[in-house]
Amino acid sequence: MDAVTVADSRRKGDVEPLVRLAKVDMAAVDALIVERMQSQVPVIPLLADHLVAAGGKRLRPLLTIAAARASGATGPIEAPVKLAAAVEFIHTATLLHDDVVDSSDLRRGKVAAHLIWGAPSSVLVGDFLFARAFELMVETDRMRALGILATASSVISEGEVLQLTRAHDLNLDQETYLRIIAAKTAELFAAAAEAGAVGADADEAAVQALRAYGMNLGLAFQLADDALDYGGQSEKLGKNTGDDFREGKVTLPLLLAAARTAGREDAFWDRTINKGERTEDDFRRARELVFGTGAVGATLDTAWDYADLARASLAPLPESDWRDALERLADFAVSRVA
Amino acid sequence: MDAVTVADSRRKGDVEPLVRLAKVDMAAVDALIVERMQSQVPVIPLLADHLVAAGGKRLRPLLTIAAARASGATGPIEAPVKLAAAVEFIHTATLLHDDVVDSSDLRRGKVAAHLIWGAPSSVLVGDFLFARAFELMVETDRMRALGILATASSVISEGEVLQLTRAHDLNLDQETYLRIIAAKTAELFAAAAEAGAVGADADEAAVQALRAYGMNLGLAFQLADDALDYGGQSEKLGKNTGDDFREGKVTLPLLLAAARTAGREDAFWDRTINKGERTEDDFRRARELVFGTGAVGATLDTAWDYADLARASLAPLPESDWRDALERLADFAVSRVA
């Protein structure tokens, strides 16, 4: 089965309905983010603003807001707004540290902060934002939300260490790969949604439903990202494709391709991944193998399975525009891979 | 006035009375530290244990325990024990990150963790311990203690950034120097003591007294450490002396010496600090100037002032062996500089 056929048989998702619904709440989140990243120490707001201004979709705080609204909150939602800003701070802190850890050159289309202000400042400003996240959470006076995001933070760093120590050799098994992406990516999606529901004093069924939604959505997103790094379904390579291969990072597309070419291409994978000897031509070859074996299509199939699970997780919630928008977002997590 | 005379006119402090009093409580803290630094990701407990096993006096969690007991807690003190472990995790996380930031070779007499496991693992395990600290705090169900330690954490990272960006040129003024050491060192001493009192449900006067004690103690400690880096009062150089000068870090002894030799040694200071051109002979020369101008003695005088303030801060507390032991500790902060 060809990857394009698979994807075309699925729904076209969209993030815009959710962005539109959350516009007012997200303006409050953005204002709070800018307010709380200030410091009398000049490099801190400069560095933080470099990432924050670069934006991105603010998907994680958007989930916190959507979870609060989808579980029935009306009127002002002070606690979820603060929790959403805290979630974005935790995410930004992990990006700053990740870029140092991976020696990345780019982030959100801009030069990575550590290349401008140095790795030491990136490490310390990450710590600052992480601490500010907890200060914001304390203000909500919701110990349960604090516990959710504290645990998420320790799980994320465990996932990052696991990736650092295990994701650069072909002995990585699919189970460990899933453990890594669940910890380093999906856990924060899950915690962001769960904390939003808790911040809105939602009932337990809604809290659990939104946590499950976030976890499945996060897995779908990361799997789709990992497919996208090999160009997704497109024959044309977009910007930033090939980063994982260049770093020798083993993800599902590569894992499947290596398994499906066992006995035939072992020397190629051993040299490029285990021994870390890679050229630009090697990426082209890897990509041919990843596509030729249907590994990208299979990765996207798995991503769609999680997107379906994410949609299904929402069943306990009352029908609403917010729930519909979250369903569209689940599909978007995968259908954005063009 | 000569430095030796100054110190001899002061009280000889001791940390041992406090260590003895806190023995049972600290055994509980140690057990909790070992339990909570575990992870299924193998490098995490290995790296954490490298620092934790190296020990040190565990002064900060000791303060948390002492604050709880000195404000009247008897019997089991579950919350302060958890807060004490959290304080040590925060401290260990900052040490891990500091060593990456400063590219330090040694920590607690052992090879720095980042030289064994790499800077990326040190950054991520620091993040893990920081998150675990907040998980422990959540278990105490004391939002106020969480707020105290969250704020302390953001203040510490601000202090570290301030030091990184300001403490390597001679334009540093004494006020900024004090701001840096208050933030990067004394704030955690203050928060450790304050959180211990809050964890023991102490009355407000005791909470404030213990916070003030911790702040003054932390300032005394750091000033004494900065004097110690130039050999303290001893003509003999101990191990690790000269680290600050070698890193071009401007501390009070150097600041005073530069001011007191203005017009005479400007070229020397400009070359070694502002331009960063330093040899081993330069450290000897700097040390002669620091001693010859009485800058070490003046730094220790300032440290004694804060030790006196720390003792005085304890006045609102009831008399007890614990209060006496905290008084001895305040003197020890400076009298340990032999």
| Interface residue of B134, B136, B156, B175 to substitute, partner A, most A CBs within 10 Å | B134
Q: List, as ranges, residues 134-173 from B with C-beta within 8 Å of A.
A: 134-135, 137-138, 141, 143, 146-147, 150-151, 153-154, 156-158, 160-162, 164-165
Could you give the maximum distance between any two Cα atoms of chain A, in Å?
Answer: 62
Q: Return the higher-pLDDT residue of B27 and B240.
A: B27
Tell me the pLDDT of chain B averaged across its residues: 91
Give contacts of B123 with chain A, Cβ < 8 Å.
97, 100-101, 123
Tens digits of residue pLDDT in B247-259: 889 999 999 999 9
pLDDT-above-90 percentage for chain A: 74
pLDDT at B3 over 60: no
Phi, psi of A197 (to 5 degrees): -65, -45
Q: Is B124 on the interface with A (CB under 8 A)?
A: yes
The Cα–Cα gap between A298 and B193 comes to 56
Q: What average pLDDT score do residues A258-272 get?
A: 95
Question: Number of structural domains, chain B?
Answer: 1
Q: What is the pLDDT of residue A1?
A: 39
Tens digits of residue pLDDT in A18-76: 999 999 999 999 999 999 999 999 899 998 888 887 777 899 999 999 999 999 999 99
Structural domain boundaries enclosing A33? 15-335
Q: Looking at the domain assignment, is residue A6 inside a domain?
A: no
Give contacts of B153 with chain A, Cβ < 8 Å.
127, 130-131, 134
How far does the CA of residue B238 sit from the closest CA of chain A (Å)?
A: 29
How far does the CA of residue B21 sit from the closest CA of chain A (Å)?
A: 33
Q: Do A138 and B141 touch (CB under 8 A)?
A: no
Tens digits of residue pLDDT in B143-180: 999 999 999 999 999 999 999 888 888 889 999 999 99
- Give the position of tokens 């409050």: A28
Q: What are the residues whose beta carbons fall under 8 Å from the beta carbon of A35, sequence distance 6 or more?
A: none
The Cα–Cα gap between B1 and B295 comes to 11
The Cα–Cα gap between A10 and A301 comes to 10
Q: What is the pLDDT of residue A49?
A: 86
Strand pairing report for A110-111 and B106-107: unpaired
- What is the 3-class SS of chain B, one letter each residue? CCHHHHHHCCCCCCCHHHHHHCHHHHHHHHHHHHHHCCCCCCHHHHHHHHHHHHCCCCHHHHHHHHHHHHCCCCCCCHHHHHHHHHHHHHHHHHHHHHHHHHCCCEECCEECHHHHHCHHHHHHHHHHHHHHHHHHHHHCCCHHHHHHHHHHHHHHHHHHHHHHHHCCCCCCCHHHHHHHHHHHHHHHHHHHHHHHHHHCCCCHHHHHHHHHHHHHHHHHHHHHHHHHCCCCCCCCCCCCCCHHHHCCCCCHHHHHHHHHCCCCCHHHHHHHHHCCCCCHHHHHHHHHHHHHCCHHHHHHHHHHHHHHHHHHHCCCCCCCHHHHHHHHHHHHHHHCCC
Q: What is the pLDDT of residue B109?
A: 72
Q: Looking at the domain assignment, is residue A210 inside a domain?
A: yes
Q: What is the pLDDT of residue A238?
A: 59
B100: nearest CB among A123, A135, A158: A123
Nearest to A216 by CA among A190, A234, A197, A242: A190
| Interface residue of A39, A157, A172 to substitute, partner B, most B CBs within 10 Å | A157
Q: Looking at the domain assignment, is residue A7 inside a domain?
A: no
State the complex-level ipTM: 0.93
Residue of A nearest to B45 (CA): A158
How far does the CA of residue B320 sit from the closest CA of chain A (Å)?
A: 34
Binned at pLDDT 50, 70 and 90, residue B86 comes out as: very high
The Cα–Cα gap between A211 and A261 comes to 38
Q: Is A79 on the interface with B (CB under 8 A)?
A: no
Q: Do B138 and A130 touch (CB under 8 A)?
A: no
What's the alpha-carbon Rg for chain B, to the nearest Å?
20
- 3-class SS of residue A106: strand
CB A107 within 8 A of CB A51: yes
Tens digits of residue pLDDT in A184-203: 999 999 999 999 999 999 99
Q: Is A234 on the interface with B (CB under 8 A)?
A: no
Q: What's the token pair of residue A244?
A: 């994982």
| Interface residue of B36, B39, B41 to substitute, partner A, most A CBs within 10 Å | B41
Q: Return the higher-pLDDT residue of B59 and B232.
A: B59
The Cα–Cα gap between B190 and B193 comes to 5
Q: What is the pLDDT of residue B206?
A: 98
Residue of A nearest to B141 (CA): A143
One-letter identity of residue B270: D
The Cα–Cα gap between A44 and B133 comes to 23
Give contacts of B44 with chain A, Cβ < 8 Å.
158, 161
Phi-psi region of A337 (alpha: psi -120 to 50; beta: other; left: phi over 0): beta
- Give the position of tokens 């450290």: B283
DSSP code, position A273: I
Residue of A nearest to B160 (CA): A124
Q: What's the token pair of residue A65?
A: 């807001």
CB A10 within 8 A of CB A66: no
Nearest to A131 by CA among B181, B182, B130, B93: B130
**CATH number of A133's domain:** 1.10.600.10
pLDDT at B7 over 70: no
Beta partners for B121? none
pLDDT at A264 over 90: yes
Q: What's the token pair of residue A252?
A: 């599902």
Tens digits of residue pLDDT in A277-301: 998 899 999 999 999 999 999 999 9
Q: How far apart are the first and last CA of chain B?
A: 17
- 3-class SS of residue A15: coil
- 3-class SS of residue A203: coil
Q: What is the pLDDT of residue A2?
A: 43
Binned at pLDDT 50, 70 and 90, residue A183 comes out as: very high
Q: What is the pLDDT of residue B6?
A: 46
The Cα–Cα gap between A264 and A258 comes to 9
Give contacts of B164 with chain A, Cβ < 8 Å.
120-121, 124
Distance of CA A332 to the CA centre of its chain: 13
The Cα–Cα gap between B307 and B15 comes to 14
pLDDT at B317 over 50: yes
| Interface residue of B124, B156, B247 to substitute, partner A, most A CBs within 10 Å | B124
CB A217 within 8 A of CB A330: yes
How far does the CA of residue B248 sit from the closest CA of chain A (Å)?
A: 16
Q: Do B161 and A125 touch (CB under 8 A)?
A: yes
Q: What's the token pair of residue A1?
A: 């089965």
pLDDT at B87 over 90: yes
Distance of CA A202 to the CA centre of its chain: 25
Nearest to A92 by CA among A29, A162, A28, A166: A29
| Interface residue of A94, A101, A124, A136 to substitute, partner B, most B CBs within 10 Å | A124
